Amino acid sequence: MRKPFAVSIAAFAIVALSLSVPSRGLAQQPAKDIVDTAVAAGSFTTLAKALQAAGLVDTLKGAGPFTVFAPTDEAFAKLPAGTLDALLADKAKLTAVLTYHVVPGRVMAADIVKLKSAKTVQGQSVSIDASNGVKVDNAKVVKADIVASNGVIHVIDSVILPR
């Protein structure tokens, strides 16, 4: 008689554990925000430095949601000599450039390919061309849909500048 009872206890424990563990079919909310996700990636140190200099870290750690077209360190290195230093020395211009990389809301790659443009937090719109890969202004999206707790990051290969 003890064996069926033990089997029942084991079955109950399995059912209880399965109810307490999230299902793989349900989307899990990432634990890191956009800033922490970018910093953890290791290829956005210049972006993180620029966000700090512009005072935008707390904003991008906020509730959002935000879509960030994030230039890599290599993208910043492509800027003409002296451009990054000049931006870092001019908080207003730096803020304008960085907010030009941010679109309000969570815009996933599947949505971006349907758009011709998107209005940025800076106020101007970026052009979007999905005819041969995806380009935002003249920057190519090299990795899309990096989901963060407060938005999404799309990695781009060039810094985009407002007109």
Q: What's the pLDDT tens digit per position in 92-150?
A: 999 999 999 999 999 999 999 999 999 999 999 999 999 999 999 999 999 999 999 99
In a domain, 91, yes or no: yes
Q: What is the pTM of this model?
A: 0.81
For residues 26-52, give the mean pLDDT: 85
**Over the range 107-123, which residues count as b (16 or more CB within 10 Å of their CB) and which as e?**
beeeebeebeebebbbe
In a domain, 67, yes or no: yes
- Find the domain containing 142 and state its range: 30-156
Sign of the four-CA dihedral 74, 80, 85, 86: negative
In percent, how much of the chain has pLDDT > 70? 82
Check residue 31 and give its pLDDT: 79
The number of folded domains in the chain is: 1
3-state secondary structure of 52: helix
3-state secondary structure of 123: coil
C-beta atoms surrounding 130 within 10 Å: 15
Q: What is the mean pLDDT of the chain?
A: 85
In a domain, 78, yes or no: yes
In a domain, 20, yes or no: no
CATH number for position 103: 2.30.180.10
